[in-house]
Structure formats: structure tokens, C-alpha cells
Structure 1
């Protein structure tokens, strides 16, 4: 990037400072605060105005780590311009030795690079909006005595120390409770406490801020804290505690977890295709249906919620949108199921990383209601950034190094000190757990496919790269990274004499679908054990398979001879299957074996069906045919449904499909990367040159020159003038479109209006949208 630096200005404001930065410094500013680039500012003055807005400063401060935040707090409390060669006041407030001066100086330079500070001829200043964002209680200190008692003389440090030296024990107790925050308290009710507070108020060590509240002034608080803002300050990121795990083992474990996830997603979609659960009125999946899904997948509810949510994030399941809505597989499942295993995993991994839903919140309470899987209570946009931060921290370790969860939490607390510790801890634990289930980590270490998924994101001690600067790898590249580590699909099983079959690995597509239909999973692991039962065989026959087809399919897939018990099981179930048929003439039962009908009539448990004989081989009932089939099967019989033409109706589970979720095209905004920033800076330089020419032309005209400025710039300039007590020339359009000039002194800027006094000293109000531009009144 070419270097283009203007002559440094005397530095009256942030705008002067930014106009004096070279191209590389401007690019660093935009990359560290991408919100400044969208929409692209008109010129450098507009960039400076946007950088000083409350919303932008709030985002910038939220992104600071503990080291930068503590230095910024010290600069705010110092309240004086700070020179790089004299950091003693800042070091004293931080409570660090002179040896840390280079580190503090580096942090100050970083804050300046992010435009939270600006440099003038008298030193480094804090941007005016920063104290507003930090609030009146910086570092837990109360407001200054000047703010609490405007116009009153501020007690000196010697006066405060002298009063503290003779403070009675009760007064010291009150001060100890307020020293490290909060700096306000309620007046005590007892006589001893009232006496102590009165003593402190009389000596200006406390200030009354209401009828029953008092505040500890900042000056008193600093003396009580020994001149420090915090008990301890960590200027550098804590180290991550890690143990060595073989990278080969990590990838193997991750591959196994990924294969297991693919299998469970297949099972979930197959189960929901046959019997889709209802969508709750408030949205989401009921607790009962989540437990059913857990039993189907043979996992605990937390992991079932993860499988459900990642399937939803990948677009494989969704609300079918019917009058009675259900959660069902979408048409996208068919294409996904036909893909290679590596591609299928990559779809799930990228969907999870980009999802704004937090599966770990399922079961917790959001207000008065619990958060249900697939419900609105699990929506939490912050989780996407936390996922990325956790994975980037793991990526900072050498391959094969597993991080300790406690050290990851401590490091992220340092990186994001303004976040709620409780919420952050729960999110970090959830991300680490889900990353292990997903196959992004193995035994606590980041897998090589996960490193490919993250692209070139690498954490440093100073920062985590912003998402806008990262290039997301294509799906095929991520799939290729995982494919070598996934267990190869097998096309055979090992049938055993105890009616079980062992799958020595993940089964290939058609065989896996058959085994899910014809057997029940008994145990999982490196090898999956399937068990054939009368119910599972009947389920296969209900789907239209014949006994010969079932046995022939098992025989072709098995590497071991077909045991006689399995043949007996299939033929016995097939022999009974369809002997009894249920019709829909309210319903009727027909059987060539009269003894079977006699047994039905004699069975006490079937009495509620009110069966009665119409013919030696026919019974009728008022019960719904499908319910009649279920109850007869519960009674030990094996009926099938008969159609109107006398043929057998196949009652195999119909695979339901939800309508594909409409995916709106993502906005094609150019990422704020180095190339984009270089073009933006070049454009800002050209715009600034044009602005200089316009300002020169304005100065050549008689009277004050008022350039047309962006509304954001105008309001920022008015607020700055209000704070400094400067006059401002503004251009205002009237209802006829004519522009008039006014010299004003702003008093208040809020609600889209400017309250000020004009050159005649009259109080007037102007609406912001009628102000065409503004410039400071210079002598």
C-alpha cells in the first residue's frame, strides 16, 4: 500500500488527527473498526465524525480486551492530555511499575490507531464520546467532586488524606464498603451509622445525591484505593494451559465423531419423516418430543438438542407450514443424503459455525418460559462470535495440543471483560462440547479439518482478527480436509446367531437405510450392533418387503452365514403377517382361520373393541381401522390392513417432507478486507483533496464560509462546539428553499433538534434536517 501522509495538523480535534494520518494508519483504523466503512464515508471529516458517534465508540469499546480497556479507563480518569514520554500518571492509576511502560505505551498506540484517542500538540486526548460510553462510574469509581458539586472547591489529595487519618472507626467502615464499588449507598438507619455518615459529609469525603443516598467522590475513592483503579491489572493475555495429544489421534477421534453425527442426523430425519413432531404454538419442539428424539438417537437430551439444531441450521428439517404444522425433513435432505460423507459434514460444520442459534440454551429459562429446541428462545446472535473466538484460541496452539477448558474461559474473559461472566462461561462450555460432537475437536485439541474451516484466523496476544478480514474457504475444500479422517463406509454386516448384526463401520447408503428399517440399534461405537426383533421385521413387511426379500438382502450383505434363528424369526413373522386383515367398513376383521377370530372374541383385553361376528370368518367393530390394527397387535395378533379391492395395503411409514425453507440471498457486500480498505482510503484521499479545494473557494468568498456537510458530521461538530463553548456558523434552508447563515452557540443537541442562542442572544431551535452545513467560528 502506498504511503500518503499529510502534514500533521496542530491537532485541535479527532478530525484534525485523522486527516493527518497516513494511508497505512487509516487502513488500520478501518480494519479494526469495520462499521466505519459501511456505508463508505464521503471524506475524512465524515470518517472522523462517524468514529466519534456513540454507537461506533460503543462497538469499539466492547471489542477491547482487558489490557486496552484498563489503559483507556486510566486515561479517562487522568482527564489530562498524556504525552508518550510521560506515562507516570497512567502507570500509577494502573498500579504497575516503570518496567511496564513500553507495554502501556504500545496499548496507548493501539487505542490511538482505533481512534479512541487523538493526538494534539499538547499530548494524547481521549475522544469525547468515550467517557459517555464508559459511564460516570469508570472502574467502579464515583463521579468527580466537580460533577457532584458544580462550582464548589475540589478537595486536594492532602485534605482528603488528612481527613482520613482522623476518621472514626464507623466512618472507615462506611468508606470500606464503598471503596471498590459501587460508589453509591443508602443512608443507614441506625444512630451510629447516621453519625458516621454525617461526619463524612461534613468533611466532603461523601456527597449527598438524594434524600437517602450518598456518593463517594472519585477523588476520595482514588485515595482509598491507594491511587489505583483496580486491585490487579492484567495487561497481557493469560496463557492457555495445554497438554500434548498426538495430531493423528486428534484427527482420528474427530473423524469418528463426525461420522457418528452424520449417522444420528440420518436417524433423526428418518424418524421425523415417518412421524413428524408437532410445532408448538409459540414455536419450537416440545420437551416430550425432544425426549423421544433422544431415545431414537440413544443420546442425552442436550446432545439430541444439538443434533436437532444443527439439522435445522443446515436446512435439513423445518416447519412444513401446514394448518397443523409439524417438524419434517425438507427436500434438501435428499440432495444432502446423496452426497459424499465429507461434503455432508462440511455442510453441517459451516451451518453450525454461521448459525445464530445456541443449542446449549435449550432447557434454560428465558424470562418466565423455558427455551425449547427450535424455538425463539434459543436465538442468540452473540453465540456466533463466541464460537469463532473459542476456535481461534484453539487454533493458536500447535497442532495436537489440547487446551484446558478453565484456561480458555480465563483467556476469553480477558479478551471480553465487558461481557457477563456467567453467560460467557456457559457459552464457552457449550461451544467446546458441541465442537467435540461435531468433530471440530478431538480430545480437546483442534482438528486439521477445523483449521481449514477457520481459514487463516489466528489469535495473537493483542487481538482476534475481525470476521470481515477473513476469507471463508469453499465447501469443497472443507469437505476434502475431513474426508481422509472419516471411517470408510462398509457394504457388509456380520450376522450372529443371537439375532444381532454387527456393522464394522458406517454402512453405505442403501444398506444403512435397510438396517434402520429392519433392525433396532442396540449399541454404538466403532462398530454398531443391530438387533432383529419381531417388531422390526414386521415394520419391514409393512413397508412392502416380503420375507424372501428380507432374507435375501441380509444374506447378500452378511459376511457370515445366515443363522437359522434369524430365518425362523423372519418366516414366522411373515407367516402370521397378513393372516388377519382389517378393513374400513367401520372396521371389519376377516380371517380364513376361524380359531383366530374365536381367540379375539375370547380375549378380555379386546372387549372395548366391541367385536362381533358377522360370519364364521368375519368380525366387525366400530373402531377406526388403524387403531384396530394397533390394539390387535398389542393383543398378540398380527393383522394387516386390507384395501377395498381385497388387496393388502402397505402401511410402511410415509416419509413426509416439509417445504424447503426460503433462503433469501445474502447481501453481497464486499468484505472489509485489505483490498477493500486500500480502495476506500484512496477514495477518501481524493474526496479530501476536493473538499480542500471547496474550502479554499469558500474562504475566498466574502463572509463566513459554510461548506455543505454530511448530517453526521454536522451534528458531531455541533456537539463538539457545545462541549467547548465555541460558536458555529450554520447554513439553514427555509420553506422556500433559500439558505440563510446564522452564528449560534449550541446549548443542546437531541431529538433531531438543535437548541442554541443566536448572535442576538435569543434562544432558538433549528431542526437538524434543515441545516445544510456547519463550520466553527474562527477569529
Structure 2
């Protein structure tokens, strides 16, 4: 039972009260669909074949559809299907009721039977085919039955008469799905028109029109064409071709990307701190801000979308709560940037593995033909985390040191593991493999050693997984350097990954030109002015270069620093929110001398002009309170009215971002569900064996026999089973060791719980005296 709940955790939510509820829930269509989505291609094909085989369905009958060497694999697959509660029975196999509904009309890629297909065709549409087959025209259902018998009776002859193009069409439809498009399938061609290969098959009865533009291959025809009745499905997935690169090479390749992704995330958030990206009304980052940030970082927009989604998931930036919200770094970013490179990467990689978002969808068109924005709700996909772990799990199956030669082979393995989702998962999984490369999770297409350690924690929740990944990555990263080489051409070469402090200071005084094993920074007037604007002085910049450079400071650089520092700050700029203008200088003297106006921060910049950092409304209010009569003016000097409008709550855009986590049921909760189910079955068994069982004869009226049985149980300290109806009218069975009866309620506690419980007598439907209460506490 515990193994079943592990495979199908949705059966445990909410916890079933008994086995009957569990069994009923296991046959619900939605639960069966989720279970089928988890089956591999071979097990799913065995299940489909079991729904097609004519009764009685036995293991031998199902295995007969497969090659003889696959018979043991078919038996194992049927055992798995029984464990999943999708098939029941030993000698005769029976699929759960809703399995056929979930599989659909085309199990194992086969069409419907010829009898069913021809029975649905209109009488008039069957007349030309009946004449070609030498049959007299008749009405349905006779015409459909006659044509079915004629086609199937001469099937070998009809197939032998097919040429190459016609055989190609039949082979494609026989492999599945068995439907194809044919314009005007229900219409007759003119005698002068040469039939196309598909129409020739239609006129022979090998294809059946199911609507105006669609044809279907009958099941019997498909089975005759197939070399194997079940189709070409292997019981084991194909092997992934690999090359031996060695663990150190793979880790080094991933470490290079780690350094770059950490640098880009820090640069992105610094850029957003200087110039925040606005939030759209529907949530997310607009196309204009996306392109601006991509140009600033000199990366493609698709890579920028990945950085935004991952860093947002990691909590490094968030939207403000202003009237016009924008995205700004959080305090977590300040803590993150002070950590080591390995620690910073683990935060990003963990967020990517767990997030339920698809960055690859950014920039695509949705069903309304609108562009999907980064950080919007349209990027949310509940299955993203599961698919991401599944594709990483496939890479983890490749032995360490070996790298897959072909990405399509990895995707083929995924399609074998999840055939029902293969059509949609392939594109998304390919994008995830590209994201894993950019994030440094993979190197040369293979999973790195530190990523394997992190993946163990993501899949099993193993303790210390992040610490182990951090330690392994720190060992794979090259040693950081805290110095650089100044060149005569005003460049600084960093011979390795810089420390966080060096990278921050060097990025302030110079512009990064190239990255890799060694980074090159270009020093220029603009970069030096940036450092001076940040509060550094000319002597601070000179000292930084002197203390951290292996080579002497070039004379040209010293001249440039002195020249930029001399010019910096000679022209000053400030802010003023409002001003006072008056031709009477004595009036302005009185304003400056007036007590109580100090809070306005008034400052005289000309004989007739005073400025203030306070808003104009506050300036007017304070001046009028002091006895002056000021008036507000516009930019052209006209008097304007600044009376306030009626107060209103500013409109706030409702964020549609939903932070959803993949549903998972902890092992402890599954164990509790199993324990309750076993206790429920013991209780039901004990009630069945009990000879002392009384029921209410009139609903809501407690009978004397129930009261007497309750009193007897209290006197003998014996456990009872209550049939109880709750407030919502749901019936259930409760186990109780009663201790008192009075006030219209019976009080007591469960055998394995000392918490006092009480049940109103009018809601008790049955009372059973249990003979073996000790079994219920196991």
C-alpha cells in the first residue's frame, strides 16, 4: 500500500478514510491520467494492448502481441500495472474502468474496427464503394456490414494491389496515429481526375472517411500491415552514445560557465539598481526594459530572460509596492554578493531546479497572439520542476566522466520514459538542456560532479546536499586572484577569477572588455568619472591601482586620473522642489526671518528668488499659516489653482504572478495515511464480527438500546465503534473508549490518544461493542 501511494501520491490527498475510498479514487479519470503519464513507453503499450485483446484477457494473450523474446518483459510490465492499480486480476486481467477512456480511441496506435467505422458512414457515401466491391446498394446497418465483410475477406488482395506511395501511406498510419488528412474525403472525384494515392486507398476501402477532410485506417488493416501487432516498442530504452572526457574536464567546463553566470547576475542586479525595470500592469518586465537590459549586459534576450527568472526565484530582486511598481534588488542580494562564488552559484542552481517556470517561453506568442513577458504569469508551468528533475535524472544515469554525444538521444530517452507527454516535453526539455549549460550545471553536455551532489538533494531531500555541492564546486573553480596587470594601453588584465572585492572595485573604475581564463578591463575617462561619482577621490583611485597591480602604474594612466579628478565637480547640480519669487526684496527678508518656517529649508539664491526642497503645497500651507498670502504660478507665470481633489485610493495593478510549488507528499504523511487505512480496515473487521450492534430507528432520536449499550461500555471500560454524521452530513466510523454520558453527549478518547472527545447523541447512527479492541491500537 505504501509503495502504491509513493507511485501515485495524489491518492493520499486528501487522506482516504478506508480502502473502499482509496479504490474508488484510484479509478477516477484524472488520477488514472496522471498515473498513465508516469508510465514508460513499453509498460504503456502493454496496458493499451490489454484493452484491445478480445476477452478473456490473459498474460499469454497480451504477450502474443509482442515478439516472443519480450514475453518476460510483458509479464513484468503487467505486474507493475497491478502495483499501480491500473490492472487487476491474475488469470483474467481487467483494466480499471476509466483506463480505456483515458487512453482514447486509438490504443497502441491502432484505429477503430472496420465494422464500427463503416457503420458510422452515411448510406449514400457507401454506394460507390459498394459498387466497386460488387455489392448491391443497401441501407445502414446492412451496407456497413456487407462492406466490412467484403474488405476484410479480400484484404490480402487489396493490399497486394497497392503501389509504393500507397504502401508508404499505409505504413505511416499503421505505425500510429491511424488518422490522416484528405481534403474532400466524403466527396466523389470526377471521372477525368486521376486519384491520388490516399484517394485510391479510400476507393478500395482500405481507408474510411470519418468526416469531410479526415480518414482513418481500420484496426484490422493496421494489424495486417504491422510486422509486430503491438508495434515497434522496446522494453528497455536505447543506450545513449557517450565519449570519455573525464570528470575533471567536465567539471572545468561547467566551472567556466559558473563564473560567467555569477558575474552576469551581479551585473544585472547592479544595472537594475541604477535604473529599475518597470512592472507591467499584468505583471512582468516589458519588452523595452528587456531589450535595454540585454544591451547593457551584451547578451541575447533569451539568456537575459533566464537570468531574470532564476534570480527572481532566488529572491535577489522583487517588485516595489509603489503606485508605479518597478523591480529592485532586495537585501538578500547584498548578502548574496558577499558570499563565495560557489555559494552564490548554489543559490542560483537550486532556484532553477525548483522553480515552476519556463524561461524559454519568454518572447513566444501565447494563445491570444501576445508576446509572453518575463516574470509574467504566462511563464508559469506546474510541471516544469518535475520535467527539469526528470531530464537531469537522465543525465545523472550517464556514468561520471562520460558525456553524451548527441542531445537528441537524451531527448529520445525522455520520450521513452514519458511517451504521453513526448510531443510537448521535447521542445521544453531541449530548452532546459541549454539552460543547464548556461548555468554551469552541465559541462560538455554532461552533468558535473557538483551538480550531481546538488541533484541528490533536489530529488531526495538529502541533508548537506548544498554544502557538498559548494565544496565540490569550490574545488573545481580556479583559485581567485586579488591583483591585476596594468598595461601601457590603459587596460588591466586579471590572470584568473577575481575576488568579489576586486571585481567590484575594478568594475567601478574600468569597463569589462573580455572574459575567460583571464579578464581584460579597459580604463577610460568615463569609467574614472563613474568611480568619482561613487564617492572615490583621485587619490583613492591611484591608491587602488598602486596596491593591486603587479606592474607599475603607467604614467599615462596617472595623468588621466589627475585630469579627470581636476575637472570632476567644478560644475555642481542640485534639486529644488519649489521656489518663491517676489519683486519686493523686503518681503523675502520677512519670510526668511519668520519663525516656524525653518522646516521648509528655505535658501536664497538671488535677491528676488528663494528655493525650497519641500513641495509647493506644503510651502503654500506654511506661508499662509504664518500670515502671508502666496499664490501658485505656472512655468509661464500665470496664477494656477492647486486645490486638492477628493481623496482617492490609487489604482494598484494586481500581480498575476503565482509562486506555485510542485505537489509532493512527505514520507511521514504517506506512512500516516497507511496507518489510518489499516486501522480503518481493522475497525471494519471488528464491527463485522461484533454481535452487539444497535442502530437508531428514527433519525435524530437516540434509542434506549443505544443509551444502554453506551452505559454498558462505560461500566466495562470497553471500546466501541460509533457510526457518526458530521455537520456536513458525511457519515464516518469513529473508535471511542467512552468514559461518561450526559448532557446529550458521550465523552471519551480514542484507544491510542488521550485527548478528550465528545459526540452529540443525535448524530450517532450506530453503536457497536468491539470484542477485540486491542487490535485497533496496532
TM-score when scaled to structure 2? Answer: 0.68
The CA deviation string for residues 702-733 of structure 1, in whole angstroms up to 9 with x for no partner, is 9xxxxxxxxxxxxxxxxxxxxxxxxxxxx9x9
Residues of 1 paired with 2:575 and 2:325: CA distance? 27
Residue 507, structure 1, aligned to residue 508, structure 2: no
In structure 1, the partner of 2:370 is 369
Worse-matched range after superposition: 396-405 or 212-221: 212-221
Matches within 5 A, 1:59-98: 59-84=34-59, 86=60, 89-93=61-65, 96-98=66-68
SS in 2 for 1:366: coil
Q: Deviation at 1:695?
A: 4.2
In structure 2, the partner of 1:520 is 511
The CA deviation string for residues 414-468 of structure 1, in whole angstroms up to 9 with x for no partner, is 11111253x43332222222212222111222111111111178xxxxxxxxx5x
Residues of 2 paired with 1:698 and 1:574: CA distance? 101
Q: Deviation at 1:692?
A: 2.5
SS in 2 for 1:240: coil
Is the CA contact 1:116–1:126 (under 8 Å) kept in the aligned structure 2? Answer: yes
Q: Deviation at 1:574?
A: 1.4
Q: Deviation at 1:255?
A: 2.3
SS in 1 for 2:257: helix
The CA deviation string for residues 245-304 of structure 1, in whole angstroms up to 9 with x for no partner, is 111122222223212221111111111111112223343223343333233333333322
Is the CA contact 1:455–1:472 (under 8 Å) kept in the aligned structure 2? Answer: no
Residues of 2 paired with 1:363 and 1:668: CA distance? 24
In structure 1, the partner of 2:454 is 453
In structure 2, the partner of 1:348 is 348
Q: Deviation at 1:363?
A: 2.3
In structure 2, the partner of 1:492 is 483
Matches within 5 A, 1:453-602: 453-455=454-456, 471=462, 473-582=464-573
The CA deviation string for residues 503-527 of structure 1, in whole angstroms up to 9 with x for no partner, is 2233333332221221110111111
In structure 2, the partner of 1:721 is none
Q: Deviation at 1:402?
A: 0.6
Residue 138, structure 1, aligned to residue 107, structure 2: yes
In structure 2, the partner of 1:744 is none
Q: Deviation at 1:547?
A: 0.8
SS in 2 for 1:418: helix
Q: Deviation at 1:183?
A: 4.1
In structure 2, the partner of 1:689 is 682
Residue 42, structure 1, aligned to residue 11, structure 2: no
Q: Deviation at 1:311?
A: 1.1
The CA deviation string for residues 582-640 of structure 1, in whole angstroms up to 9 with x for no partner, is 466899xxxxxxxxxxxxxxxxxxxxxxxxxxx9xxxx9xxxxxxxxxxxxxxxxxxxx
Is the CA contact 2:279–2:326 (under 8 Å) kept in the aligned structure 1? Answer: yes
Change (3 A) 1:267 1:212: closer
SS in 2 for 1:427: helix
Residue 116, structure 1, aligned to residue 79, structure 2: no
Q: 1:56 aligns with which of 31, 54, 78?
A: 31
Residue 29, structure 1, aligned to residue 4, structure 2: yes
Is the CA contact 2:283–2:657 (under 8 Å) kept in the aligned structure 1? Answer: no
SS in 1 for 2:89: strand
Unmatched 5+ residue regions in structure 1? 1-25, 458-466, 588-614, 621-660, 703-730, 740-771, 774-779
Change (3 A) 1:696 1:191: farther
In structure 2, the partner of 1:332 is 332
SS in 1 for 2:88: strand
Matches within 5 A, 1:408-447: 408-421=410-423, 423-447=424-448
Q: Deviation at 1:210?
A: 6.8
Matches within 5 A, 1:374-385: 374-385=375-386
In structure 2, the partner of 1:406 is 408
Residues of 2 paired with 1:359 and 1:431: CA distance? 9
Is the CA contact 1:67–1:233 (under 8 Å) kept in the aligned structure 2? Answer: yes
Is the CA contact 1:161–1:223 (under 8 Å) kept in the aligned structure 2? Answer: no
Change (3 A) 1:165 1:498: closer
Q: Deviation at 1:329?
A: 0.8
Residues of 2 paired with 1:147 and 1:157: CA distance? 9
In structure 1, the partner of 2:735 is none
Q: Which has the larger radius of gyration?
A: 2
SS in 2 for 1:525: coil
Is the CA contact 1:160–1:223 (under 8 Å) kept in the aligned structure 2? Answer: no
Is the CA contact 1:81–1:125 (under 8 Å) kept in the aligned structure 2? Answer: no
Q: Deviation at 1:364?
A: 2.2
SS in 2 for 1:521: strand
Work out the number of aligned pairs and report it.
Answer: 601
SS in 2 for 1:123: coil
In structure 2, the partner of 1:623 is none
SS in 2 for 1:530: strand
Residues of 2 paired with 1:693 and 1:424: CA distance? 50
Residues of 1 paired with 2:728 and 2:272: CA distance? 67
Q: Deviation at 1:156?
A: 12
SS in 2 for 1:502: strand
Aligned-residue Cα RMSD (Å) equals 4.4
Q: 1:128 aligns with which of 97, 120, 137?
A: 97
Residues of 2 paired with 1:257 and 1:513: CA distance? 19
The CA deviation string for residues 99-123 of structure 1, in whole angstroms up to 9 with x for no partner, is 2111111111111111110015x42
Q: Deviation at 1:570?
A: 0.8
Is the CA contact 2:456–2:465 (under 8 Å) kept in the aligned structure 1? Answer: no
Residues of 1 paired with 2:263 and 2:730: CA distance? 72
The CA deviation string for residues 676-697 of structure 1, in whole angstroms up to 9 with x for no partner, is 5455434322211212233455
SS in 1 for 2:311: helix
Is the CA contact 2:254–2:443 (under 8 Å) kept in the aligned structure 1? Answer: yes
Residue 100, structure 1, aligned to residue 46, structure 2: no
Change (3 A) 1:349 1:456: closer
Change (3 A) 1:195 1:287: closer
In structure 2, the partner of 1:264 is 264
Is the CA contact 1:80–1:125 (under 8 Å) kept in the aligned structure 2? Answer: no
Is the CA contact 2:285–2:376 (under 8 Å) kept in the aligned structure 1? Answer: yes
SS in 2 for 1:511: helix
Query: Which one has more relative contact order, counting CA pairs under 8 Å at least 6 apart?
Result: 1
